[in-house]
Structure 1
């Protein structure tokens, strides 16, 4: 157990775990500008190692907020090796954080763990909410379930806990925007597959604001869908993206072509063809106001 005098700072402390990607970089910049004492846990040289339980505990002691984004990218082929890495990179890191939090003399006030909106079934009839959303099946769903189980199974009664089931994150300079933008620019920005699959998304700015919202609202915990209130079809999505970049036409890509292309670039078509229809019911009910509630507004900001 770490001594209560193991740290001394007048600024609130945030611990970001596995936050080296698109979302993590945005959070680092945001909280540094707010004057937080920032601590990083990752596999990156110079950060606190996942294998250093004592250092993790020391970093977490007295933290106002812990945000865990750790997890290997799912943008790959789902062979046995990659599936094992995808699963372990989420569950093992979450268990390690739980053990470190339980070792704290003064544990974090709030722990927000990343989750995924792909936990819900392929929905084309109605949006999936936190209260009545039906969970799906298959490898991606099993990963999502195991990830949340690892999070909620740790006994951390002094720490408020929340999961963000994150939809596809849109923003400048990263995330999934680059391949979509390239398709649009080269005239291939038509619908993919049938085009009726739903595209649930959230702007990076609103995702960061959701984390700040949960930090401020000390009465909130549990599961939250991190998705914009507007969920468009894939055909509508691509039309809006074409408009944002001044492209009138875009050739569609049938499912068989996507399957061939996915093998060539070593990814899975599920990332495009699964219908994700996710509604942020709890966020809206609790009064969260989206800065980018529609895809047209989001794309206008990104393309600017």
Structure 2
């Protein structure tokens, strides 16, 4: 299988590259060829631009994961535009190349996030949910998905990856949380009642391979474990795994002072479940948070 991938040097992309079997040949779009080759070597072919491509004939699949990190900086209006345009413009270009192809890719996996649903309450949220909360994360993902779906045709199926919090020992949210928790300074954020849809990196990559290789899968899929937990439960489980107390909550006003509007990602959540993924026959290796954290921290 010939694959064109964006975001191949990120947390998910690098793990996916290391888990693809023999027979998968991947071309990765990256802004820094030297850094990518140094980090990942010959796991892929590397290109720095799509300008040399007139179409995507010859590629069997597209995996589109690239985008400005959403939680690395405060959300100024300028930063919001960078977050949006880094996703929207690249996806538009990939769709144009698909549409220009005589033999377009059979599958287009395109990134999204559970932020599509916006802040929600305690109700379980599946892909069939029809009442997203209209805020920045929803607006970002809604347009991103709409652009990606323009690649859909009788020849190309599009899968939208509504990803939760990816847990990995190599980066992401868990690595940022570990230092204070290891020092015994961890605790809930805000009320702690907000749900955190999470997924182990191994299940994330396995789910992507499943969608890549299952011909009747298309549309939105929640890539998160079947058992989301509240922020309080997450904090308590992480502290217990580390053998530390969970005594120091972070008040909402402090988070808002530190991160501004971006603190919404921490203070609000969604009780998201992977209904369509399980209906399609995918089985999670890590369904419970305690086992996932134990594997990542102690494994």
- TM-score, reference length from structure 1: 0.89
- Confirm or deny that 1:22 pairs with 2:25: no
Aligned to 1:260: 257
Counterpart of 1:244? 241
Which secondary structure state, in structure 2, belongs to the residue aligned with residue 202 of structure 1? strand
Query: For 2:64, which of 64, 68, 71 is the aligned residue?
Result: 68
CA distance in 2, matches of 1:165, 1:133: 15
| Offset at residue 51 of structure 1 (A) | 4.5
Contact map agreement 2:151 2:158 (CA 8 A) in 1: no
Does 2:265 align with 1:271? yes
Deviation of 1:215 (Å): 2.2
Q: How does 1:113-124 map to 2 (within 5 A)?
A: 113-124=110-121
Give the match's secondary structure for 2:192.
Answer: coil
1:210 maps to which residue?
A: 207
Q: Please state whether the residue corresponding to 2:295 is helix, strand or coil.
A: helix
Alpha-carbon offset, residue 97 of structure 1? 0.3
| Segment of structure 1 superposing worse, 36-45 or 223-232 | 36-45
- Confirm whether residue 55 of structure 1 aligns to residue 49 of structure 2: no
Measure, in 1, the Cα distance between the counterparts of 2:200 and 2:22: 20
Counterpart Cα distance in 1 of 2:152 and 2:202: 32
Write the distance in 2 (CA, Å) between the matches of 1:15 and 1:51.
10
1:148 aligns with 145
Counterpart for residue 157 of structure 2: 160
**Structure 1 stretch displaced more, 73-82 or 43-52:** 43-52
Say whether the 8 Å CA contact 2:168–2:175 is kept in structure 1: no
For the residues of structure 2 that align with 1:44 and 1:298, how far apart are their CA atoms?
33
Give the C-alpha shift of residue 253 in structure 1.
Answer: 1.1
In the superposition, the TM-score normalised over structure 2's length comes to 0.90
* Structural RMSD (CA): 1.7
Task: Tell me if the contact between 1:122 and 1:274 (Cα under 8 Å) persists in the aligned partners.
Answer: yes
1:93-137 per-position Cα deviation (integer Å, ceiling 9, x unaligned):
001001111222322111100111011132223011111242111
Match for residue 276 of structure 2?
282
Label 1:78 to 1:56 Cα distance change in 2 as closer, same or farther (>3 A).
farther
Report the CA distance shift for 1:133/1:155 in structure 2 as closer, same or farther (over 3 A).
closer
Contact 2:54 2:100 in 1 (8 A): no
The question of whether the paired residues in 1 share the 8 Å contact of 2:122 and 2:270 is answered with no
Structure 2 residue matching 1:130: 3-state secondary structure: coil
Show the counterpart of 1:300.
Answer: 294
